[in-house]
Structure 1
Amino acid sequence: MQLPPLSLYVHIPWCVQKCPYCDFNSHALKGGIPETEYVSHLLDDLAADLEFVQGRPLSTIFFGGGTPSLLSEQAMDRLLKGIEELVPFAEDIEITLEANPGTLETNKFSGFSKSGVNRISIGVQSFELEKLKQLGRIHNSEEALKAAGFAHDAVATFNLDLMHGLPNQSLEQALADLKQAIALEPYHLSWYQLTIEPNTLFYSKPPELPEDEVLWDIQAQGHELLKSAGYEQYEISAYSKPEHQCRHNLNYWQFGDYLGIGCGAHGKITDLNSDTIIRTEKVKHPKGYMDFTKSYRYKQWQVETDDLPFEYFMNRLRLRAPFSLSEFEQRTGLERSTVEPAISKAVELGLLNQNNTSNQDTRSAELQLTQQGLRYYNNLVDLFL
């Protein structure tokens, strides 16, 4: 087992209002954000996790939520400086901030950039006003266009989040959304299908979604649009221009390590002392999280050896790039023989390609997701249960 790169996820749990499709740990504002207090707790939370750093710098930071762009420039500056005092930054660190177009102002965003944020992920979801209302979004298409312009001016790279398969959405509407997103020239596009998750308003009152045949046409034609515009699909729902992949998410999918601080944040750590994978979960509700009498860490557990193959491949097989089983051995501490039967079955079913196998040298073989494996991803990862 070897130490992989280390990332940091920071959860900001507040948003203006809860979206009906959202199952994230987010809470609608009932007054102002207690940001001074919360930043202090975030830094104390990180300090309590320093045992997991094991001498590594932070290669990426991701501010998610909720709506992190609700924080003031001063709070973000204090937070980033405090984080760097606790854990050194890699020279080329990627620092991403999720933003809602309805909470962005030009000066505020410039302030985030001056504090070190060099990548922004803008939650557009759609450019059609009716669809935005159905999704509970607080912005309109004009604000989304402005947000993309702010991002172009202030940071090195930015992402647009866009959904398809929205309530009663036609093929033409979905492609129009995608064409508008492409016209804004983002360096990265997260383009994913709306799914109905438990514990959401949409789950209790399901909207009418497009038929499967329409969904498949949207995905197929949308993929060709993105490809012709110079975007490469490097993950199931992620497209980027060359050299603009999201490094933070890549570390997740390559089974790297990450600390999670903030309400309900999760972490995954390789512990060389015990040769185990440890997962952590923080207290979920802001009131409990900001209680000085309690630990920030709600749960900590060791991933069982039998669960490691599924956890590794559930992440790694989201990526289109080829890989070898030597990475599996390094990241899990397991021998490749533990998964070779499942790999063989996946190759037999046409879900994986196995390349470079001349002279039956399986140690140098490269594995790669096929188009069939992409379409039947859930069936593929179930082979490793």
Structure 2
Amino acid sequence: MENHVYQSIRICTDEWLVRYQDQLAKYKEVPSEYHSDYSDELIADAAEAAGRIHAMVAQGQAPSAYSAAYQAALASELSRALWVDDKRGRDQARLYVARFAQTNSKIKNAVQKLKKFRPKNLGQLGKLIYSYSSLTQSICQHEIGQQMVSGELKMPTYLEDADEDEKELERLLEAVEFLQSSAYDCQILDDMLEMGVGMEGKPLPEDMPIEATSDFFRRASQANLNQFEKSVIDSSADSQHVTFELAQRAMLCKDIDYLLVWWEANKAQRQMLLMFDETTIEYARLGIAISSYSYSYLLMAKYYSLGVIYDEDEVITGVRREAALDYMLDFSEDQARRNIQFLTSNGVDASDVIFSQMGASRLASGDTCDRLMALQYLWEGNIGARTLAYLGGFADVGTPPNSAAP
């Protein structure tokens, strides 16, 4: 990793840490009667993450410190936001939530920054592709949150015996999480582009197969999604004697990964492509395709290869094939190390893979949800690395860009 990139990561980490401290101070100003067990738990998690940051930086693990600072800031800001004074009522709460994250303006700013960024080398291209994927996720999170605020998308609530006002407030608070995650995705995009400024390394080839690579990932993502719906949702519909549409809606509410990849394929893609012109649209298509492929592959792994187990509250508590998950994590971790060496030996900055590897390492010893997230981090990093090698013309002959996934 270039020293310039490493120092940029440290600066961005400090900025996230300041944001965490600011949001924590605001949370402490919230009257204690409006604190909840959930928000207090988020604050405790944020404090634990923030407490590791300085040690990580001292140990030369700036990417891990960046991830911890980001998570701490997000958790503290959500905690500060996740309360609504019941005296304001449902309508005022909806207005508050709709204005909360201001993601429309942040998405527009992110689009303008992407349009202005012109990669000169493969390391910068990696940052750009990652940023387009972040924008894809931001748009999805924003649209889902807005649909929840408007009432067009009604996620299930856990307040079975509550009145309609209480259920509505819970949905609005869920919308806050989507909207704030959308805003933070835009900030991550900004950080990635900042890290790419001044980056040196292997120059871009004159002719890169970007369109063909995008089509490859798009078709692979759609194939995964079709297979998932056939093997999981069709089976669920048959066993419950309901229509495919009802079973699909239940799954969209149950699994956030399916909700995101379905939203990307059916809604966000068209919206996002309208934001870019002919000079940048090929990068937008590639970012969308890689993001969709990553989520669709994780879906297949969770339900087909691993067999996720849910409790009565629809929370993932384990997998039926634990040994398979161990193997996937070990295999993907080994590939990440190889890809870091592979990119570096070819003169390409490998910080994106290092980010993914360190983030996964922090999660791999956690619960099942953490381990699945670690797997996704590793896949994203490895897929990005192989894509750069493929576009740069130094991948193994005949090796497809999705060869990073086991």
TM-score, scaled to structure 2:
0.29
TM-score under structure 1 length normalisation: 0.30
Higher strand share: 1
